[in-house]
Structure 1
């Protein structure tokens, strides 16, 4: 019956549970987090979708000599469902426009950017479409790297899904081998794995029913629940093996009575530990707390409902004292204890070397496609976006003769900072509008109106409010800088 329950549970998970991790651009923040509320406020005031940056490298330093190939790539990318618009050297002239100089050019003369504006299409659907186009055009003449928030989100999701499969499978195999080596009994191995599978399946089904998907941290839920269930099973097995006799019902009742109290309090402390995560501001921690609470209760229940039936029916009984395990003496254990103390003491010297504020690039494996792509984009013009909203004290407009020169000066100050890469602002958009013949004769207000119209792709809407009371500076911050993040933000 237990084997049947495990099989049904696994099938139900495969049919009803979405094991693909749910990752979004704002995946680390809770909905009610003050930082998330500020981000939403900025997004509402300055509409604009996410961006994908494709860094195109040619074998020589003559990017202009590959305009045809880059143009064909650009056309195919703009035709992708989910792409609202974009720019490349074939749709905009970076020579005369200060705006496109910054977003299309790179320090490498043999590389250029294609910038795509995308809608709210799920990156899990959008990125494969982009990759299909890239695969078609990539050759010895064009080397293409994809970056941007949607690409990073999808790459993280793929990595989490791969880890979910690998570590879950590894947990089953490793623990099955360990249980087999320790107990050398097929019934105990089968019973343990069956119980853990039932527990994991039940947890995933309950979590799905509660509307919680697999997230950034809950991708490890399978392994967590497996270990939680195993802890109860191990102590039940130990008490079963320590008992003497041949009456199976009596032996299993004895093992349950000896294990239940300690197991219950162990479950309670674990439950409270996961419950404490519910007050965290980070959304992944909250999700882990709720899913962990479900898994803790499920592991305890399953261990005491499913496993005893298999243990009491199939496991060997210990009829004589000679067949029991010997408990190591305290004297023998002292050497192990001191060894553990020395080991952890020596390892503690490495704590000062721990990087508590790693860069975005450091989260990805060295040599991986995502890390290499991020490193290139970061070196070109930064890889992490920082939005700064500026308003005029006293309620004036940013286009006034007093305020606008200060905005221009602020642009220059941002660009002079070594931690800042590309900076986009209304002053650049105004300078871009002035490249139109005779546009330089018009005032700033008129140029912003022009840049907010379809004639220039409405690019100003994402950088200045209609009442001209606030403007947005979009900074791409460099991750590979030695200066501490706190000093940069100060």
Structure 2
């Protein structure tokens, strides 16, 4: 069993992408009329993903603020994956020109004139590395009188992806440690503990392989699928082990010398486990 689990682990590590994937339209169905209309418009008028930096200060017309905006704009230009940047330092001729222009004033200056926008146009859909670099720049330049706030679909998607990756790692680790230690304390058998752990791990690895073969990525609905499979597989093993112990006690009381306890325990556990598997599979199928 250890060899099988090790082989499955190598296959998953080699062929399965465990990085969660989040699309900008993950809140909506692919058949949603609004999404279909949006995609139609994008095909006719292609656009690039945008990240917006809202930079606030007491006086956005001061030379100090404008020089900081210029520095921020120049630093953003150095990020790979950025195609263009628009700000008070790049676009309008001057601050007065931005205020007088209906276009630039609406695009770059807040109605209360307490902040201005730095609009960043990204290349392509893979924005993980550019967002990380942008966060570093924002952290370096952010100050009490120069507050920088990040917004935009690529940034929100990256935050969700990080949250999913965090949940995937820690929920999986918690499930293994918590339920594994519980089984070890309950049955007090190293062989039984290792066997259960390998069986549950194999079920999780097979699930990840099957999901990858079907062309599905780890997403917002399936990120904890492995943890769910681990817990469900473990519950069936607990049922079978309990049935085995029950049959062993009964055989001991009636004096039966060589009972085939493993086969009897499997036969007793199979019907309820089978129908439970069917119900769980139908539930999982709705997520794929």
Instruction: Assess same fold via TM > 0.5.
Output: yes
**Cα distance per residue 1:380-432 (max 9 Å; x no partner):** xxxxxxxxxxxxxxxxxxxxxxxxxxxxxxxxxxxxxxxxxxxxxxxxxxxxx
2:166 is aligned to 162
Instruction: Quote the residue 1:56 is aligned against.
Output: 55
Question: Does 2:276 correspond to 1:266?
Answer: yes
In structure 2, the partner of 1:123 is 127
Alignment match of 2:197 (pick from 175, 193, 198): 193
Mark the CA change 1:139 to 1:228 in structure 2 (over 3 Å): closer, same or farther. Answer: same
SS in 1 for 2:223: helix
Q: How far 1:101 sits from its partner (Å)?
A: 1.9
Shift of 1:197: 0.7
Asked if 1:212 corresponds to 2:222, the answer is no
Does the residue aligned with 1:7 lie in a helix, a strand or coil?
helix
Q: In the alignment, which residue of structure 1 is the partner of 2:262?
A: 252
- Equivalent positions of 1:373-388 (< 5 A) are none
The 3-state SS of whatever aligns with 2:99 is coil
Shift of 1:257: 0.7
- Kindly report structure 1 stretches of 4+ aligned residues shifted beyond 4 Å: 107-110, 245-249
Shift of 1:205: 1.6
Query: Taking structure 1 as reference, are residues 214 and 96 closer, same or farther at Cα in structure 2, changes over 3 Å only?
Result: same
Q: Measure the CA separation in 2 of the matches of 1:121 and 1:132.
A: 20
- Which of residues 136, 146, 153 in structure 2 aligns to 1:149? 153
Structure 2 unaligned runs (5+)?
A: none
CA shift digits 1:92-138 (9 cap, x unpaired) = 24311122222322356443211112232412233123234334433
The answer to whether the 8 A contact 2:22-2:219 is kept is yes
Residues 152-194 of structure 1 show CA distances to partners (whole Å, capped at 9, x for unaligned) of 0011001100110010000111111222333333333222211
TM-score, length of structure 1 as denominator length: 0.52
Q: Which has the higher contact order (CA 8 A, sep 6+)?
A: 2
Larger radius of gyration: 1
Q: Which residue of 1 aligns with 2:27?
A: 28
Q: Is the 8 A contact 1:63 1:111 kept in 2?
A: no
Indicate which of 229, 240, 245 corresponds to 1:236: 240
Aligned to 2:187: 183
| Count of residues paired in the alignment | 276
- 1:95 match: secondary structure: helix
TM-superposed CA distance for 1:271, in Å, is: 2.1
CA distance in 1, matches of 2:217, 2:270: 32
Whether the 8 Å contact between 2:24 and 2:157 is mirrored in structure 1 is: yes
CA contact (8 A) 1:21 1:157 kept: yes
State the distance in 1 between where 2:212 and 2:195 align: 26
Q: Do the aligned partners of residues 64 and 143 (structure 1) sit closer, same or farther apart at CA in structure 2, a change above 3 Å counting?
A: same
Q: Gapped runs of 5+ residues in structure 1? A: 278-287, 291-490
**TM-score computed with the length of structure 2 as normaliser:** 0.86
8 Å CA contact retained: 1:123, 1:153:
no
Q: 2 CA distance for matches of 1:142 and 1:13?
A: 46
User: Partners in 1 of 2:25 and 2:187 — Cα distance?
Assistant: 47
**Local SS of the residue matching 1:18:** coil
Q: Distance in 2 between matches of 1:266 and 1:232?
A: 9
| C-alpha RMSD of the superposition | 2.3
After superposition, the Cα gap between the structure-2 partners of 1:225 and 1:50, relative to the gap in structure 1 and judged at 3 Å, is same
Q: CA 1:48/1:62 → structure 2, altered by over 3 Å: closer, same or farther?
A: closer
Q: Is the 8 A contact 2:243 2:265 kept in 1?
A: yes
Residues 1:76 and 2:75 are matched in the alignment = yes
